Structure 1
């Protein structure tokens, strides 16, 4: 078990750090605003650090189901890794994402926008105090680190805004509230680059707490920002730094975990593959310190025989599961995994009490570390029973998510059962992990024409997968390395499919599809395929470009700030 000290993200930590409130002065007419924090105390190292902790705490969304960095709705559901799950009438706001029927008044884009700007506001608050503090105990080294962390966090929140809305106002710590509302939407990429560059220049290689951003995290995120813009050489430079010199915040050399399943096991949090993660802890007095981002995404109606007991959201799609089919150890890149002959056998429509035989054709072993399916061990909870753990098969399909779920042996230690559901896990969500960096570097190498290096990087990821077969499983696992990538176009296809398999359910898929220019063609094919099984969920679905490439700017924000300030994305005017 990792015993490395974690950074606990509690907004209330500001108070616990000794930041008192202003009280009335002797002149009873001079009354400080209720609940305001004493500026002189905020300017201390403890005060600045408390503000940073507040900015870190927003990474998980802070009770906003669509504000967390896992992007399970925005990246995975919108990208076809999973459908909403559960049943038609449950949390209907997500139905609009599944069906690509969002509008400027929809809840999902409204809540995401709000959560990102809350994170930006907290980052700016920390930066303003760190930059201006005259407290003599604020050393140059402390100020430099604090500014680096603040710029990194602000870069993260703006990155998330950029990939969902394309343009948005860039607000810095120097602006007053009156000035901020007048800032027009603009291209955020130059600002994101500058924030991550500043973070890279100012952050140390290691930190005193595992959850803090360090130089390697900044390099990886800057590389990702370059990658999304097609700046291949710059992206390669940053990813090469991570691969050749990178360290985790707690001082480990970065690398792949030996077993794929351990990446998502809370027992190993802050491991060598974790470059930057949302920290989670259970039984601290508030479930917000666990991982509320995944509280809905457990098998349904499990009772004490399974984890969480609620609510059946985020059920993996038929398309995703079939993607793990292999032939001669390789994935079926041509889409034949959707055909009748290569589809995985499922228990769709079969009661748990009725007989079922597990599919015996070869599959990639990552399937059974990512997806719960009938007849296969579900972590240490026993054999997944199928329909009994599915809220409504006819609406959502036969599968359950498996990543980020706690083990039976971790009940009440790495899970928090003090709220309405036992499904608050103390597993970190890794925003950037080493395998992701290897595949992003491979993508840059392909675009630069370095196919031999790309082959090496892709095979590193596949070799770990090959060494991660699920024990005591009746499935037939078969995965092999590539001998060559063929043409540049074939190399792109291989790389893109590898990202689908390796990173399934981790919030990346939609944003990958869009930057590859494949969102419209893939997602309409995906919709037509899923519709044959789930006609209610996908009956009205259609992906339309350019409208569905980005979320609409929330109408409430336009009403407050004006159309001339914020504008609106194509198709939503």
Structure 2
């Protein structure tokens, strides 16, 4: 479903025309406000489909109706703020200060506007889904199949928005299409409601749609499996994961499978191609469509190398810098296996304190090839933009280090082909919300938790086997690998559950690095405090921005926005919402 937001614009135009055509018949004092949807106008096939398109439009992270990019960073389904810079993967980056520093340092308070943006965004998306569910039964002429498709997509999207809010705030109030009193309490985590929505979607949606970007049966199934995995419901997750691995179909009728090359997951040129079988669900972006960037990955528009030069992508703003810890995690041993316990003892060389004009030779040790598709580092090709020059592309090395993000960045050839907006900070490079590699890793985790250790090793090895493909290595200017990439599969049988879990969890970090999942994984595994305080103790020896930061017990969730607590008080002043413990 390319350029979904354009369809919202068309619906807005249609609605305004419909309203205008009746204006002459209305009493002056009772005229419908211009630009407001008439419910009668929306009780049509085009109307409910337009509302559904509006619900999909939120996957871009843009706040509905505010006409600016405010909030897109914390709302984006890339989760780089709440799931990335809060983890050991990355730092806020750029320079001192900013409204995201308190989130990064675990010091955010209920007064934060960033929290309020996330809360309102999730419920804006939920409201769109509820409108589809409320209005679609009232539309005459819809077939039973059309109603099921509309209902299934709306329920799956609603569950996705609730999940997007749950992983940040924990307990949320349940608002559905039947709710009339919106002062609902946040008494518990809404797993049961998300399960019910996704079970309906999985049972009723088709395997494929002709339009890309829609949630089909398999995307709903993976979302449901993820909800189960977050609850440690392994026996419920297993059949769903088994089904998509063995039976699931892409929009092209092919089975889901890994790309032959890891980096093809993160480039415009492979989207919708004959080999595009890894994407299960993505946020569809577009560029140069007169949307002023609102259709093109607005939530990631800060996450480019700093500098302001036409010879580099975007030239702004130096945020979301990979940590030294994350870079070190890609160190491998002589056999090509990771070092989950000792990697920080073998630091990957960086150019801290060096001017770009000064000589620098990149690290010559063994590295996992995924490093140089996840991280921009000095002396290594940065897509097709040439060698990363180091300091001139970094806003403040002493503050947040020497590295740049890479997975969200477009190629120079993409810009030349018109796939980048004039602001150079938004593009048609989709964000992959769910991809088949994560399906395999969730299946590996499930099998290990069910004590099927060898099946878990098989799935992990499938992921590693793809990464070991030399055709997918970053190449230097001489056509040879740009670094000493050494990676292999786990060849020794897994017989110990704890060791298997450690290997699987580390693989998940490497495969999904800089994709906004790490913090939420650490929380659900119950190891966030231990891992993140160890990370802080290491990282502050390298950079200044995290000095004094400490992860505390309450930081496994974020505070409920005070503005929402105040706005939902009952007439007698009694709060409806309960603040999370510790805030």
How far the C-alpha of 1:35 sits from its partner, in A, is: 2.8
Matches for 1:485-504 after TM superposition, within 5 Å: 485-504=494-513
Unaligned runs of 5+ in 2: 63-68
How far the C-alpha of 1:333 sits from its partner, in A, is: 1.4
1:555 matches 2:555 = no
Matches for 1:502-521 after TM superposition, within 5 Å: 502-521=511-530
CA contact (8 A) 1:558 1:567 kept: yes
CA contact (8 A) 2:568 2:576 kept: yes
| Aligned position for 1:571 | 582
Q: Which moved more, 1:197-206 or 1:510-519?
A: 197-206
Q: Work out the CA distance in 2 between the residues paired with 1:72 and 1:443.
A: 23
Q: Work out the CA distance in 2 between the residues paired with 1:249 and 1:564.
A: 47
CA contact (8 A) 2:12 2:35 kept: no
Candidates 82, 96, 103, aligned match of 2:102: 96
Q: State the Cα deviation string for residues 194-228 of structure 1 (Å, max 9, x = none).
A: 11111111211111210111000000000000000
Matches for 1:61-210 after TM superposition, within 5 Å: 61-62=61-62, 63=69, 64=71, 65-89=73-97, 92-133=98-139, 135-136=140-141, 138-176=142-180, 179-210=181-212
CA contact (8 A) 2:16 2:34 kept: no
1:384 matches 2:391 = no
CA contact (8 A) 2:41 2:47 kept: yes
Pair 44,251 (structure 1): closer, same or farther in 2 beyond 3 Å: farther
Q: State the Cα deviation string for residues 12-69 of structure 1 (Å, max 9, x = none).
A: 2322556744343354454224433233331211111100011011112113221111
Pair 30,355 (structure 1): closer, same or farther in 2 beyond 3 Å: closer
CA contact (8 A) 1:49 1:146 kept: yes
1:321 matches 2:327 = yes
CA contact (8 A) 1:212 1:249 kept: no
| Aligned position for 1:218 | 220
Matches for 1:328-347 after TM superposition, within 5 Å: 328-334=335-341, 336-339=342-345, 342-347=346-351
How far the C-alpha of 1:121 sits from its partner, in A, is: 0.9
| Aligned position for 1:56 | 56
| Aligned position for 2:405 | 401
CA contact (8 A) 2:76 2:300 kept: no
Q: Work out the CA distance in 1 between the residues paired with 2:475 and 2:495.
A: 34
Q: Work out the CA distance in 2 between the residues paired with 1:173 and 1:185.
A: 19
| Aligned position for 1:291 | 297
Q: Work out the CA distance in 2 between the residues paired with 1:283 and 1:246.
A: 34
Q: Work out the CA distance in 1 between the residues paired with 2:252 and 2:80.
A: 27
Pair 239,321 (structure 1): closer, same or farther in 2 beyond 3 Å: same
How far the C-alpha of 1:564 sits from its partner, in A, is: 3.8
Q: Which moved more, 1:23-32 or 1:401-410?
A: 23-32
CA contact (8 A) 1:55 1:123 kept: yes
Q: Work out the CA distance in 2 between the residues paired with 1:182 and 1:456.
A: 46
| Aligned position for 1:353 | 357
| Aligned position for 1:13 | 10
Q: TM-score, normalised by structure 2?
A: 0.93
How far the C-alpha of 1:180 sits from its partner, in A, is: 1.4
Q: Work out the CA distance in 2 between the residues paired with 1:474 and 1:221.
A: 37
Pair 261,184 (structure 1): closer, same or farther in 2 beyond 3 Å: closer
Pair 519,409 (structure 1): closer, same or farther in 2 beyond 3 Å: same
Unaligned runs of 5+ in 1: none
CA contact (8 A) 2:464 2:488 kept: yes
Count of matched residue pairs: 555
Q: TM-score, normalised by structure 1?
A: 0.94
Q: Work out the CA distance in 1 between the residues paired with 2:3 and 2:359.
A: 48
Pair 160,408 (structure 1): closer, same or farther in 2 beyond 3 Å: same
CA contact (8 A) 2:175 2:184 kept: no
Candidates 407, 411, 415, aligned match of 1:411: 415
How far the C-alpha of 1:316 sits from its partner, in A, is: 0.2
1:252 matches 2:266 = no
Q: State the Cα deviation string for residues 408-435 of structure 1 (Å, max 9, x = none).
A: 111153643323xx11121110111000
Q: Work out the CA distance in 2 between the residues paired with 1:298 and 1:126.
A: 37
How far the C-alpha of 1:107 sits from its partner, in A, is: 2.4
Q: Work out the CA distance in 2 between the residues paired with 1:298 and 1:191.
A: 38
CA contact (8 A) 1:485 1:494 kept: no
CA contact (8 A) 2:366 2:486 kept: yes
Q: Work out the CA distance in 2 between the residues paired with 1:454 and 1:172.
A: 38
| Aligned position for 2:40 | 40
CA contact (8 A) 2:308 2:315 kept: yes
CA contact (8 A) 1:185 1:565 kept: no
SS, match of residue 432 in structure 1: strand
RMSD after superposition: 1.5
| Aligned position for 1:469 | 473
CA contact (8 A) 2:566 2:575 kept: no
